[in-house]
């Protein structure tokens, strides 16, 4: 094998490992969500595969003629890469109904083997290239550099091109097939005699690709950030639920924009009714989702103008296609990260800011900090309201820290939640309200009661007891994912 061919092969297989790593989050998200734990499990699993593959591959290359190994390794790498698609869909369905099958278990079962097999190619190629001890350092360094360059190329290719260009399953199955065919060619040219091995390897890879292509895809649409689908409500003709990854994210009634299915969105409406000025409002929304609340404002406060900061352009397109989103003078959508986009908006341009951005169960950490609160305050005019949705479970470390952060940035803060959530039992949605003007807790409680809610409104000393010394979140320290409680059962 020439040095150019050797470097190209190491470059390509290393790139394939990183393509799988980046695409793994897209394949796993419909079953385990997009969380810090998911990313950590993927990175750890792939690194473990690289370590195991290079170690075992080097051991085998010293004991078996490398030419006999190279083709089978590529074929096996391709087949196991293609098999990740049906494996994740099969095991993911089980994970959806069983908490025993954790994100780590699902990731290891699906991605450890292809990462290890493909990583075994590099030491095998090194063994083929070592013919003179005087140039050992040069050979190892050159191939190591080629592998690192391939990993970089695979990372950028997956993140910037493949995710947008083709469905995740198509990209992974295609990658597996290319690896298997390449392996069959190498096997036939450089391996032991006979065609049975290469042919059998390609057949196995084709079976894996076929099974993967035929397995049920839980996504209606793969956006840049989510596996998304819209589900019709059998009990309401116009009812549609937007499901992102594992969660029911939004509910829209196409026939009645004033209908609010989710409890926390009804509390948003109560806050606006009780505490915001009468008449049309200037509202900034952090997160769009199904665009339920901007539609409610347009229907109940004619003349209101909403600006929505939504990071996922694919989600905006889906909302236009299936959820009745119509943009115009009264509803403007800015596609981009809310933390970056908010800094570009004019100070004092909003009377209400609505925070409803989520990645899984967690508010993106950089939208929870004191620095973000300063941006929200800058946007709000005198007496403006910041109302946001937070999910947490016992021991409620995140929601208590978020209330402390709001109290550090605003003169007046209130928490709205079922009484049991405020006293330590259970978990779910908390609606938090902040303003530099006094908050009329009695008026808000009355509005909640009129709309059929039973949530308590806590301010002042009661809220201090709820916070109980929780720290203020900052850009330097906001461990939202780690502090977020989980449902016990």
Is the domain of 261 the same as that of 203?
A: no
Q: What average pLDDT does the segment 178-189 reach?
A: 87
Whether residue 130 sits in one domain with residue 7: yes
Answer yes or no: do 296 and 192 share one domain. no
Query: Among 163, 194, 217, which residue terminates a domain?
Result: 217
Q: Is 411 a domain residue?
A: yes
**Same structural domain for residues 42 and 129?**
yes
Segment 211-224 mean pLDDT? 76
* Number of domains within the chain: 2
Q: What is the DSSP string of 419-448?
A: HHHHTTS--EEEEEEEESSPP-HHHHHHHH
Same domain, 252 and 319: yes
pLDDT confidence of residue 68 = 87
Mean pLDDT of 216-225: 79
Is 222 domain-assigned? no
CA-derived radius of gyration, the chain: 27
Same domain, yes or no, for 198 and 247? no
Q: Are residues 417 and 312 in the same domain?
A: yes
Domain boundary among 217, 248, 266: 217
**177 touches 77 (CB < 8 A):** no
Q: How confident is the model at residue 246 (pLDDT cuts 50, 70, 90)?
A: confident
pLDDT score of 193 more than 70: no
Q: What is the CATH number of the domain that holds 117?
A: 1.20.1250
| Pair (196, 269) in one structural domain | no
Q: Among 198, 217, 236, identify where a domain stops.
A: 217
Domain range for 48: 3-217
Task: Render pLDDT for 221-236 as a digit per residue (tens, 0 to 9).
Answer: 888 888 899 999 999 9
Q: What is the mean pLDDT of residues 85-113?
A: 80
Q: Count CB neighbours of 120 within 10 A.
A: 29
Is 488 inside any structural domain? no
204 and 55 share a domain? yes
Residue 261 belongs to a domain with what CATH number?
3.40.50.150
**In this predicted model, what pLDDT tens digit does every residue of 247-290 receive, in sequence order?**
899 999 999 999 999 999 999 999 999 999 999 999 999 999 99
Please count the residues of the chain: 489
Q: Is the pLDDT of residue 196 over 70?
A: no
Q: Are residues 286 and 164 in the same domain?
A: no
Tokens of residue 331, six digits: 């509803």
Contact (CB, 8 A) for 36 and 482: yes
Are 429 and 388 in contact by the 8 Å Cβ rule? The answer is no
Residues 40 and 168 in one domain: yes
Flag whether 38 is in a domain.
yes
Residues 162 and 40 in one domain: yes
């Amino acid at each position: 094998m020439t040095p150019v061919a050797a470097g190209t092969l190491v470059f390509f297989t290393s790139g394939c490992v990183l393509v799988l790593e980046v695409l793994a989050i897209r394949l796993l998200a419909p079953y385990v969500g997009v969380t810090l734990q998911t990313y950590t499990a993927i990175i750890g699993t792939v690194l473990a595969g690289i370590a195991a593959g290079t170690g075992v591959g080097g051991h085998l290359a010293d004991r078996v003629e490398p030419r006999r190994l190279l083709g089978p390794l590529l074929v096996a790498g391709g087949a196991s890469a293609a098999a990740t698609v049906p494996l994740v869909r099969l095991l993911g369905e089980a994970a959806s109904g069983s908490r025993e099958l954790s994100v780590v278990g699902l990731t290891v079962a699906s991605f450890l083997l292809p990462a290890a097999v493909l990583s075994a190619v590099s030491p095998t190629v090194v063994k083929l290239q070592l013919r003179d001890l005087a140039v050992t350092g040069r050979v190892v360094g050159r191939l190591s550099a080629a592998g690192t360059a391939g990993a970089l190329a695979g990372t950028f290719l997956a993140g910037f091109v493949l995710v947008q260009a083709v469905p995740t399953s198509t990209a992974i199955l295609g990658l597996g097939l290319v690896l298997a065919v390449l392996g069959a060619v190498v096997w036939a040219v450089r391996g032991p005699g006979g065609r049975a091995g290469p042919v059998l390897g390609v057949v196995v890879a084709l079976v894996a690709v076929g099974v993967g292509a035929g397995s049920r895809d839980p996504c209606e649409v793969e956006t840049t950030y989510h596996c998304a689908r819209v589900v019709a409500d059998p009990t309401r003709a116009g009812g549609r639920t937007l499901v992102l990854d594992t969660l029911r994210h939004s509910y829209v009634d196409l026939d009645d924009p004033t209908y609010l299915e989710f409890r926390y969105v009804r509390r948003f409406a109560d806050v606006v009714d009780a505490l915001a000025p009468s008449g049309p409002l200037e509202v900034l929304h952090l997160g769009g989702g199904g665009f339920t609340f901007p539609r409610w404002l347009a229907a109940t406060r004619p003349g209101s103008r909403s600006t929505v900061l939504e990071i996922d352009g694919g989600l905006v397109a889906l909302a236009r296609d299936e959820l009745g989103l119509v943009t115009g003078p009264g509803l403007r959508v800015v596609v981009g990260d809310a933390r970056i986009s908010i800094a570009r908006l004019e100070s004092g341009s909003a009377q209400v800011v609505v925070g409803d951005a989520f990645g899984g169960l967690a508010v993106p950490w950089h939208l929870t900090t004191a620095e973000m609160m300063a941006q929200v305050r800058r946007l709000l005019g005198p007496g403006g309201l910041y109302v946001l949705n937070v999910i947490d479970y016992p021991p409620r470390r995140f929601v208590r820290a978020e209330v402390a952060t709001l109290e550090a940035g605003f003169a007046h803060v209130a928490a709205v939640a079922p009484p049991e959530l405020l006293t330590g039992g259970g978990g779910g949605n908390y609606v938090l309200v902040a303003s530099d003007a006094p908050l009329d807790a009695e008026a808000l409680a009355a509005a909640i009661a009129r709309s059929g809610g039973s949530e308590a409104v806590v301010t002042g000393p009661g809220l201090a007891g709820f916070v109980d010394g929780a720290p203020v979140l900052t850009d330097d320290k906001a461990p939202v994912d780690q502090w977020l409680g989980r449902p016990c059962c």
